[in-house]
């Protein structure tokens, strides 16, 4: 997982771009996967919350963006590991 410096405008733009690329349908899949894996109430809740802001990263704080992108990357890694086994 990449480590982004949220004080750096370039890194913040990258994180916003990553967020804005995720479609509403993909958020549904991430939420379903997060619930299956029981990654925690707060993590599932933040995914549900940001789903309403799909494509509107500019309305989310850098901290929330970082949290959500790290969750998405973790879920993607877990899914890739499951496919390899």
Q: What is the pLDDT of residues 18-59, one digit of tens each?
A: 999 999 999 999 999 999 999 999 999 999 999 999 999 999
Per the domain annotation, does 52 fall within a domain? yes
Burial class (CB in 10 A: 0-12, 13-18, 19+), 75: buried
Per the domain annotation, does 65 fall within a domain? yes
pLDDT at 78: 76
Domain total of the chain: 1
6 half-sphere exposure, CB direction, 13 A CA radius: 11
Per the domain annotation, does 57 fall within a domain? yes
Per the domain annotation, does 60 fall within a domain? yes
pTM: 0.85
Per the domain annotation, does 53 fall within a domain? yes
Per the domain annotation, does 46 fall within a domain? yes
Per the domain annotation, does 12 fall within a domain? no
């Amino acid at each position: 997982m990449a480590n982004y410096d949220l004080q750096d405008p370039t890194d913040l733009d990258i994180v916003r771009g990553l967020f804005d690329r995720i479609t509403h349908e993909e958020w549904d899949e991430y939420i379903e996967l997060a619930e299956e894996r029981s990654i925690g109430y707060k993590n599932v809740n933040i995914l549900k919350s940001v789903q309403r802001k799909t494509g509107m990263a500019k309305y989310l704080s850098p901290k929330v963006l970082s949290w959500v992108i790290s969750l998405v990357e973790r879920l993607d890694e877990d899914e890739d590991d499951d496919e390899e086994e």
